[in-house]
Amino acid sequence: MSFELVELSKIADTELDNLPDKPLYIKNIKSLKYATKNSLSFFVNKKYLDDYQNSNASAVLVSKELSPYIKKPKLVSSDPYDALIKIIKYISSDSKSLVSFISDKAFISSSASLGKNIVIHPNAYIGEKSTISDNVQIYPGVFIGKNVSIDKNVILYPNVTIHDNSIIGKNCILNSGSIIGSDGFGWIKREKGWIKVPQIGRTLLRDDCEVGSNTVIDRGTIQDTIISQGVKLDNNIQIGHNCFIDEKTIIAGCVGIAGSVHIGKECMIGGGVKISDHSVIEDNVIVSGGTVVYGKLKKNNRYTGVFPILLHDVWKKNAVFIKKLKNYIFKA
């Protein structure tokens, strides 16, 4: 399918420049380096100027600041990322409305409640007294336990697991392999060994959340684990029991969050961060990737706890020096 450049400009609310005399049709969106004829590409960083000069793209979406460098047909925007999102959604959208389909190879409890216009693929399982609202898509291999509530316009990709009593808000997307409401990691040590603490809380995902592939969110011990509205979680994240993550926070992949952690609004947590139990991260905090967090991080700050990468021999010398610092400090 092709789209006229003028059409895409209207969708993205951009300015048009360097248009050819004949209509220009776009078939795909590709990076400057891999663009071909009839590709629309994207230029927002001057360091890729060489890629642009060698690009086969037919047109370029560009920021106003960098527009003078572009001699090809171009879409000019003050917010090119927003424009790009609009164009991608437009050219990749399926104009067909969702067609209701329930596979006869899915198991659906007789006490479950199903809304209108839903899709349930083969090998899905829906447990007792669970409620599935309108326009929900359930892909193959999804497991939904007892007394689960799933609100409107939710997408559950293959092999998602939602345990008993969990609540999923409107417009949520759960990617393949994610697990909601798994058993929390609670143990007490006694003479005979470790005794498991029952986890009877729930897991709540508010509206507009997205959960990445293989991310696991444990249910609470007594209180609920709560993921607030608009939170975005990348792949392979572990969120322990009793955690609270406030609105519009975004967390990158491979983050480990221990139990009873509180994370405020609009935080950004980098990849590979480890957050110890009962830590508090206040609103609008940025945590750099790889940082280990414990205690309290105050709002409106950026925190970094990663030692700069060095040649190993240099790192060993610095490590020895750091270990000896206390001797110099005490002497002073």
Which of the following is catalytic: 121, 163, 241, 312? Answer: 241
Query: At 25, phi and psi to the nearest 5?
Result: -110, 135
Is 241 a catalytic site residue? yes
Query: At 292, phi and psi to the nearest 5?
Result: -100, 125
Q: What is the DSSP letter of 73?
A: S
Please give the distance of CA 216 from its chain centroid, rounded to a whole number: 13
Residue type, 198: P
Query: At 250, phi and psi to the nearest 5?
Result: -125, 135
Residue type, 179: I
Query: At 32, phi and psi to the nearest 5?
Result: -55, -40
Q: Kindly report each contact of residues 233-242 with a partner whose C-beta sits within 8 Å and lies 24 or more positions away, as own/partner.
A: 233/209, 234/271, 235/175, 236/212, 237/212, 239/215, 240/184, 240/185, 240/277, 241/184, 241/185, 241/186, 241/199, 241/201, 242/184, 242/201
Active site residues: 241
